[in-house]
């Protein structure tokens, strides 16, 4: 199997951790590097969490610190703060991973992305699990190089609803200007797949899944199970649902196997516009049948098979326990 060259751009994050582990486990990916952006928590915590994940998985790739604030705040020299810690103070609930600081690069994430794309034109796929700030900064610095990205998988946005506001999903709400730059400037040249709340909220790890993960899937499963405890409390307190929605994992699993979504749930060459101001800031507005004057700058996923998604995850990350999972949890 010829491995696909991947850059993971992320803001770890409990769901990012699930996603990065899955990406590192998949033999079809050659993860070139992990670039980090402020999002779920501040940049320093996100970088330390990424270094902890790399250490946990004994991965060879380096971690590249990137933007410490959204575009608008960077331009105004303001500091990024987040009110409401869905992922806990550190970003990983009550879990503390041990960072491997030898894997921290001195190269800025934006420069790393551009250098890697220049060296591998038409080959690099970016899986973006956080705000698109690093991607937008790279576009602003060298748009022609960024047009040579093979594909971007972006966990963000939502057509029908939001989770940070009634219309805005968190990643796009956190930096709507960056999302706008990304889709407007390179969306017609580079396929950008938006994997938003319409898809991710069709998935859920229920209490049976999490119990099995915690008790039967070894040290790694126990760690992910413990990490999910804080997430579960957040979902119950905010939405009165049990279990967790692991949003970023959905983007990675679809990047691995797009057939988890049916052809009828994938809309190619649609028009996506970002709202950056006012009460609707962060909203991704999708025109599924764009006219001749509207840019065809996005592919939008709208559905997924939840059972097949979970089966694919357990088979990939915990293959030795997969038969038991199918027999006792899915039966």
CATH number at residue 128: 3.90.245.10
- Does residue 268 lie in a domain region? yes
- Does residue 317 lie in a domain region? no
Q: Whole-angstrom Cα distance, residue 244 to residue 206? A: 7
11 catalytic? Reply is yes
Statement: residue 62 has pLDDT above 60: yes
For residue 219, count other CB atoms closer than 10 A to its CB.
8
Report which secondary-structure segment, H or E, holds 152.
strand 151-155
Please report the pLDDT score of residue 258 as a whole number. Answer: 98
Please report the pLDDT score of residue 84 as a whole number. Answer: 55
Q: Whole-angstrom Cα distance, residue 113 to residue 149? A: 10
- Does residue 219 lie in a domain region? no
Catalytic one of 16, 209, 247, 248: 247
Q: Whole-angstrom Cα distance, residue 216 to residue 321? A: 7
Assign 78 a pLDDT band (cuts: 50, 70, 90): confident
Closest C-alpha among 103, 135, 95 to residue 33 = 103
Statement: residue 213 has pLDDT above 70: yes
Q: Whole-angstrom Cα distance, residue 66 to residue 133? A: 9
Please say whether the beta carbons of 276 and 177 come within 8 A: yes
List, as one string, the DSSP characters of 207-239. HHHHHHHHHHSHHHHHHHHHHHHHHHHHHHHHH
- Does residue 200 lie in a domain region? yes
| Mean pLDDT (the chain, rounded) | 96
Q: Which two tokens stand for residue 228?
A: 């999910």
Report which secondary-structure segment, H or E, holds 195.
strand 191-195
Q: What mean pLDDT comes out for the span 273-280?
A: 97
List, as one string, the DSSP characters of 113-145. HHHHHHHSTTTEEEEE-S-SHHHHHHHHH-HHH
Residue 246 exposed, middle or buried by CB count within 10 Å (0-12, 13-18, 19+): buried
Q: Whole-angstrom Cα distance, residue 227 to residue 248? A: 15
Q: Which domain holds residue 114?
A: 4-205+244-305
| Tally of domains within the chain | 1
247 catalytic? Reply is yes
- Does residue 287 lie in a domain region? yes
Q: What mean pLDDT comes out for the span 233-254?
A: 93
Catalytic one of 11, 15, 198, 248: 11
- CA–CA distance from 83 to each of 42, 167, 174, 294 (Å)? 11, 18, 12, 36
State whether the Cα torsion 273-66-29-326 is positive or negative: negative
- Does residue 234 lie in a domain region? no
Residues 158-209: pLDDT tens digits? 999 999 999 999 999 999 999 999 999 999 999 999 999 999 999 999 999 9
Residues 92-106: pLDDT tens digits? 988 999 999 999 999
Residues 285-299: pLDDT tens digits? 999 999 999 999 999
Residue 125 exposed, middle or buried by CB count within 10 Å (0-12, 13-18, 19+): buried
Residues in the chain: 331
- Does residue 322 lie in a domain region? no
Query: Look-up: residue for tokens 């994997």?
Result: 195
**What's the angle, vertex CA 169, arms to CA 150 and CA 278, rounded to 5?**
110
- Does residue 258 lie in a domain region? yes
Residues 113-152: pLDDT tens digits? 999 999 999 999 999 999 999 999 999 999 999 999 999 9
């Amino acid at each position: 199997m010829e491995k696909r060259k991947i850059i993971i751009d992320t803001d770890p994050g409990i769901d990012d951790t699930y996603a990065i582990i899955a990406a590192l486990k998949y033999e079809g990916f050659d993860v070139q590097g992990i670039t980090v952006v402020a999002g779920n928590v501040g940049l320093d915590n996100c970088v330390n969490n990424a270094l902890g994940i790399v250490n946990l998985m004994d991965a060879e790739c380096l971690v590249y610190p990137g933007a410490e604030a959204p575009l608008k705040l960077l331009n105004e020299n303001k500091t990024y703060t987040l009110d409401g810690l869905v992922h806990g103070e550190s970003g990983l609930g009550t879990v503390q991973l041990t960072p491997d600081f030898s894997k921290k690069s001195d190269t800025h994430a934006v420069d790393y992305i551009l250098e890697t794309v220049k060296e591998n034109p038409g080959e690099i796929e970016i899986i973006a699990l956080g705000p698109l700030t690093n991607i937008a900064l790279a576009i602003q610095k060298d748009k022609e190089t960024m047009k040579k990205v093979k594909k971007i998988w972006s966990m963000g946005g939502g057509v029908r609803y939001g989770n940070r506001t009634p219309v805005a999903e968190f990643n796009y709400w956190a930096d709507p200007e960056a999302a706008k730059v990304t889709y407007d400037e390179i969306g017609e040249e580079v396929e950008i797949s938006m994997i938003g709340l319409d898809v991710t909220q069709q998935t859920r790890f229920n209490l049976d899944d999490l119990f099995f993960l915690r008790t039967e899937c070894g040290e790694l499963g126990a760690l992910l199970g413990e990490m999910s405890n804080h997430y579960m409390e957040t979902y119950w307190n905010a939405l009165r649902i049990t279990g967790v929605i692991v949003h970023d994992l959905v983007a990675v699993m679809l990047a691995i196997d797009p057939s988890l979504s049916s052809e009828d749930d994938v809309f190619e060459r649609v028009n996506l516009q970002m709202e950056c101001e006012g009460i609707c800031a962060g909203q991704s507005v999708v025109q599924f049948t764009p006219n001749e004057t509207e840019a065809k700058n996005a592919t939008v996923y709208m559905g997924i098979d939840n059972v097949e998604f979970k089966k694919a995850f357990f088979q990939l990350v915990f293959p030795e326990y997969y038969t038991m999972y199918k027999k006792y949890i899915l039966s």
